[in-house]
Structure 1
């Protein structure tokens, strides 16, 4: 007898189980059981709707459990939706907008951030990686345009406190009915993570070891010393000054004949490695019996950074990240009706960087030209001068180091009691959770001296800047967080023939403290009820009722109701039986959600001391007085969102194709916004609940999977659109409608509208005047939008595209005779990319800054017809170096996010060596990017720790 379970250990009903050796088969019942005889080493195959899910070698036991990998998309349709802690809702009993991704897909990503692993996998979820620093990838995540709350086993957590390997599934909750129970934290949607649990069966041990290397995707392309000096002379002349580099200087830069007086240092090559190491090791234990079930996961992760090191140091000055985690999930049947869950998590994380900090080193690279100074002078001292007193190489290897230690401990205790002996279907649950975390900084940095060398040999002189200091030794607390979460719940779940009902009500208290700061407390209740008839019609209602200590005493609790309906058309008699249509379900929901955006004591009026002068008679006298500080907002309340969701789900073509399409329209009101007040008020005012925005869009998920003998393949794709609009924000009066922010997309950039480059003085004379500036040929020309003959602030308008953002992903793969291959593509369209500042403009930093290869495409009389960059000048140009459409580019891109090739050794061999499975794999992350504007990485825009390209290989063994 065989029991077939999905990745979350739910019985898989309706699967076909066949014994190839005996040539008999059986179908699984509602408990996932198929009665099928077998002998040891018989080949057992599990199919679902004609799709091969797994091939299994029988072990000869009377009762055997076969688990189906969680990434099989056909099984995904049978998965349960996790809405709250440990409560799994049957898919036919929910009308909500949800989508999930599973462990087998996530672990293919060689990243340290769970957020990064989600990129391109779920419709409605948009991610952008802002940095590639080891362990601190700084990935921003939005769900339908909002910041979602993170739930780990139903409890609000920080997403950095979880590893990929311990995740069973990640479900995004996108509409009102799926998040209403979260109350004041429901407006942004939720990312609900379920960690792995034990199961009934023999112990399974799995070990995965992988290692690889990483290299930066994009770095700014700086000019060599000769091109820099030549361009600098040109910029000086354009700025009305004389050149400073003589022909002999230029020749020395060109030939490299004087590396001390005329250096040419590529600082990127000098301080950065071409590649760095990455490794991850996971050891998991999973199993249990009728009394207890357990999962224990151990992980060690190490990621090195890009900076070169010196053999003279007895310590590392490179950026690095190492992380040790342990998770233990144990569930014990205390009695036949009572279950105790004890879930533990611990983490030790170490982050290292040079004493001058990684951010400052990359900033120095952007601001230091190749000819600024040599790495070393003739006497071995570090090069430098008046303008550049932080030698970049010295910053990297001679500034000491900084450490950040992070320690996190989580304990969850859950007690669940079936109350079937009181009322069949009734249950109760209590949960207590504690978290304690601390982040401690150790500063072992030191100062260093630099010198400017004049002359050579015995006549050389050195002007010293700074001093060589000793290492500091100080510690400070970055954060010290504590959280206590309490929950009590009672529910009822029962089937009555064709009728199903699932209801629950909860009381929660969530207290979060960060160091000496005032704690943040959320408390209240929530509930949900779902009713289904014949799995054809489903109605669902949910609510949240809670408040926080951020609002005045006596203020009402926030009430956030939502409701949903679904209709499975293919169960209707009037629906024609179409051979290509297996299932079709329509669903909708509407409700109100909340967001606690207020700070502490926004409602409280404060007074500050102020020495003020008052006129009495003919002279002023001064006295200590009190005056009103920023005016309070006594009516502050939570932000609200009214959300509408419409969708359909369908399986087609003998269940090979799954489709989910949705439309959402969400109105966010009572947004805390700065009011537009007259200066006659005489003081500032705290933000008021007056803003109104709207977000809407479409989402599409398509999955195709098919087996052709031993060959199986899948194609999964998703696409989303996001349109936003400012409805109201108490905007200041603007004389020209094209300058109004109201009615535009949220965050729409505004600036001057570029109209090419001035080509001649005659064109300048015929154009509008520029307030405070006299243009010359080669400067950027702007449109005079109000036709008043002057270019000023009244000619600013929206720049870039205002079309709905489109983001998409595609996951494609196949398996055959032990080989498996998969590719994940991810992309964005209608995205603005505004490039300004030191990584874009030439000779910034007070006129001593860096210049780049794209600056060579500047306007000159000889290149006037082909120039793509304005004439170069020294320092900030008040006409060219301002926000305008000239610096706005397309941010569209398509990225090969992940690719993996694996091979699983045949079970006929592994059974002989007492091993359940051996799999070898190689994978890569961020291997290729096609961007509309490819000079910079489209996610980081340059100027920060670059995103990494990773190539990795490993081995997975199961016992």
Structure 2
């Protein structure tokens, strides 16, 4: 294992090197160096401001390794981490084989230190404040706009003016409801998050240990019924032990467990609250309003098992037999439980008695994870009132009951899922120096993984062997060859094994005469690397037999109105026993150094990557009769055809300076990635429709030309084949001049991702007071306003976007299409009418920390004590901030304000 406490030690594939010997295209962050001024439990919080290339150049999801084992970043908290290494270049990841072709995030946990016991305790308490809620119309306004939609469709109004007025007046919200599911009647203003952890470290030259216990609890925004009991809790425990058995053999054991529980009311409150119109019914009706003279109604009241607060019955309609309010009160609850156990053990053997510089290292891991839902499912009756007006006011004359109250008390288990992983790796290392200047190292390694999850028909496996040869002359000139033999059961036997080679060269310029002794350049190193990584990541998760032809029985009716069935055999793909790996072909160049007596340090990389041979079915290469739609049949095999390109740069720079009594550090990082689809299976007659030549994440849609103001404009315009077109509908551009607008007129209208991401962080320390500020940014991305909130049609719940909808009176100023109760295939489809820029600058974190002066603590058992306050996700500066801060159908985004204390003993 690596020596703990070495600030210059960097963990990379199967080894630890000194920071000055680090190959290019690798970045690191060390949480122990910044957690005291920038506390957070999530390991990657704000990483875009610290690390260039933290997104691994947008190639795809990286392989996450915790202590060398494939695990999830959610399995660990920042407190447990010694270092996070971002292995970006092909030369940095190739030893991990096929699975690492998108990059590797290597997380290394803390280890014990020899010496006196060290105990760190930290506690936090914070509030989560919602940024915004969806803005839906109230009942009266909804009715007016719905009537307008009917008018646009040439239909009579549904809601009378008198009905609208009664809902607007609010004199009887039970008879004429105006329900706001996001009001303080149902939701708290904030919800709470509390966390605490304790770290223990001690040891001797023979044995060291590190242990951590952490706990986190969070409640809910819901403030009624089962919602008051909603919470999630997380308990995590870790123990890392290092033993030196003798002068030659050392061993270690890492154990981690995570216990997570989430309790929530049944029914999806946030999703249903975003879909249920405000005027349909009042969720609760007062018992006091039920006429005393109605025996039938009083009988139903006395028989109810769900009298809320002793005053209210659950309400609804025959159409809406359940609703989000009643669900939270009476449907029951669900407890989601997750349990994880992770065990790793290893051995390090110094074989210097066999050969100087030779060592052996082996590691084995066993992980178990399981999740399940435990629910109590109740049914409940809802009551539909019949109101009547009397001299004394509105009274419920009759009640109709639907469903029945039932609380069986049975606990139901469902959605059980398990995951078992066994991983091992061994490597033989050789490190030696000859003639004081010739430094040679070599590694021969093998790695194997076997994993099975619920639903898998076979094990998920990974196996690879690798060789690394490295040489440097006087720590000035560097050369390295790294290669891996990979094996994948997703490929046919003939192509299952492949070799991935990489090479890299490095040059430490500051050791040359022309820079040595420079008052400006302290360190300057150039590194260049190239390589090919074979990967099966582009095969789907269940694509183990894409090379085989697949035949299956099917049926379709052919005569006698479906009385008789023809049985047929269909084929969904042809055979290709030459199917092989996709290849990541890469060149990258990095520069790293420091200037002005270490006041300025920097790291930057340029990269060019071609992802070639991704498997697709090449329909365009085969005649049309090779595939049919009914029954769905295809003789077309998967082939290595599609290709993408990724090129760009990343950087990170830090500046350190003392300004009077203030220690100032300013850091910035950024990543720019330009992507291009090089090859796609397509045969469009119009080049503008080609996906090839466009960004990999390109969005295609129609170009809009405003709204039709009248029927004369529609008559003079090209035919739009997306349904009936009326005044107030979106007008589209005819791209190919065929006088018809259809899917053939779709062009690129944006890209999902942001080509540039980055951030900046500032630390100002004055005596015992430290101010930390973190900002992040992204530019170049595109969003699409879609879903029922933005695409309002039919009888869906109307949002505030309809206030600017087209009418005859507003036809020259409207910014939203006409409303319709009949649907609109013309308007609600991808077009630049609905796009918006996702460019943003975020003030992601501000923390103020005060450390107690040592002169106060020196007479106590407390080694250190600090207090801090912080705010997270404080501000978004963006043209479309309101859109980007709005969640629909889920828990709202929040700002988090925290108070914490840390003690060292």
Relative to the length of structure 1, the TM-score reads: 0.85
| Whole-angstrom CA distance in 2 between matches of 1:342 and 1:402 | 36
Match of 1:526 among 457, 466, 472: 466
Q: Give the 3-state SS of the residue equivalent to 2:815 in structure 1.
A: coil
What is the match of residue 828 of structure 1? 778
Q: Give the 3-state SS of the residue equivalent to 2:825 in structure 1.
A: coil
What is the match of residue 692 of structure 2? 742
Write the deviation string for residues 351-398 of structure 1: whole angstroms up to 9, x where unpaired.
222212xxx322212211222211212443223224433322112232
Match of 1:92 among 20, 32, 50: 20
What is the match of residue 9 of structure 1? 5
- 1:506 Cα shift? 0.9
1:916 aligns with 2:848: no
What is the match of residue 667 of structure 2? 716
Relative to the length of structure 2, the TM-score reads: 0.90
- 1:80 Cα shift? 2.7
Comparing 174-183 with 832-841, greater Cα deviation is found at 832-841
Q: Give the 3-state SS of the residue equivalent to 1:886 in structure 2.
A: coil
1:607 aligns with 2:554: no
Check whether the contact 1:150–1:190 (CA below 8 A) recurs between aligned residues. Answer: yes
What is the match of residue 237 of structure 1? 151
Comparing 297-306 with 90-99, greater Cα deviation is found at 90-99
Match of 1:807 among 753, 757, 771: 757
What is the match of residue 264 of structure 1? 178
| Whole-angstrom CA distance in 2 between matches of 1:777 and 1:460 | 47
- 1:575 Cα shift? 3.6
Write the deviation string for residues 862-908 of structure 1: whole angstroms up to 9, x where unpaired.
43443222222225212211211100101111111111111000111
- 1:629 Cα shift? 4.9
1:535 aligns with 2:475: yes
What is the match of residue 325 of structure 1? 236
1:699 aligns with 2:650: yes
Q: Give the 3-state SS of the residue equivalent to 1:854 in structure 2.
A: helix
Match of 2:640 among 686, 689, 702: 689
Counterpart mapping for 1:729-808 below 5 A: 729-731=680-682, 733-771=683-721, 773-800=723-750, 805-808=755-758
Q: Give the 3-state SS of the residue equivalent to 2:99 in structure 1.
A: coil
Match of 2:259 among 336, 348, 353: 348
What is the match of residue 607 of structure 2? 664
Distance change >3 Å, CA 196–CA 280, structure 1 → 2? same
What is the match of residue 305 of structure 1? 220
Check whether the contact 2:191–2:221 (CA below 8 A) recurs between aligned residues. Answer: yes
What is the match of residue 399 of structure 1? 331
- 1:807 Cα shift? 0.8
Match of 1:925 among 872, 878, 883: 872
1:377 aligns with 2:285: yes
Write the deviation string for residues 808-852 of structure 1: whole angstroms up to 9, x where unpaired.
11111111111111111111111111111112122x4xx222112
What is the match of residue 432 of structure 2? 494
| Whole-angstrom CA distance in 2 between matches of 1:622 and 1:400 | 45
What is the match of residue 131 of structure 1? none
Match of 1:680 among 612, 625, 647: 625
Q: Give the 3-state SS of the residue equivalent to 1:447 in structure 2.
A: coil
Match of 1:468 among 393, 400, 405: 405
1:507 aligns with 2:443: no
User: Aligned pair count?
Assistant: 855
1:334 aligns with 2:245: yes
Counterpart mapping for 1:243-262 below 5 A: 243-262=157-176
What is the match of residue 63 of structure 1? none
Check whether the contact 1:408–1:437 (CA below 8 A) recurs between aligned residues. Answer: yes
What is the match of residue 630 of structure 2? none
For structure 2, which runs of at least 5 residues remain unmatched after alignment?
A: 288-311, 389-393, 628-632
Distance change >3 Å, CA 778–CA 613, structure 1 → 2? closer
| Whole-angstrom CA distance in 1 between matches of 2:753 and 2:830 | 20
What is the match of residue 70 of structure 1? none
Check whether the contact 1:835–1:941 (CA below 8 A) recurs between aligned residues. Answer: no
1:850 aligns with 2:797: yes
Counterpart mapping for 1:139-158 below 5 A: 143-158=57-72
| Whole-angstrom CA distance in 2 between matches of 1:478 and 1:215 | 33
Comparing 389-398 with 825-834, greater Cα deviation is found at 389-398
What is the match of residue 296 of structure 2? none
- 1:111 Cα shift? 5.9
What is the match of residue 289 of structure 1? 204
1:882 aligns with 2:882: no
Check whether the contact 1:602–1:634 (CA below 8 A) recurs between aligned residues. Answer: no
Q: Give the 3-state SS of the residue equivalent to 1:188 in structure 2.
A: coil
| Whole-angstrom CA distance in 2 between matches of 1:802 and 1:488 | 41
Distance change >3 Å, CA 175–CA 785, structure 1 → 2? same
| Whole-angstrom CA distance in 2 between matches of 1:95 and 1:213 | 43
- 1:614 Cα shift? 11
Distance change >3 Å, CA 372–CA 145, structure 1 → 2? farther
What is the match of residue 43 of structure 1? none
- 1:709 Cα shift? 6.0
Aligned-CA RMSD value:
2.5
Q: Give the 3-state SS of the residue equivalent to 1:691 in structure 2.
A: strand
What is the match of residue 140 of structure 2? 226
Check whether the contact 1:898–1:927 (CA below 8 A) recurs between aligned residues. Answer: yes
Check whether the contact 2:37–2:772 (CA below 8 A) recurs between aligned residues. Answer: no
- 1:785 Cα shift? 1.4
Write the deviation string for residues 142-183 of structure 1: whole angstroms up to 9, x where unpaired.
643321000111121122211221011111110011001011
What is the match of residue 349 of structure 2? 417
Check whether the contact 1:111–1:117 (CA below 8 A) recurs between aligned residues. Answer: no
- 1:198 Cα shift? 1.0
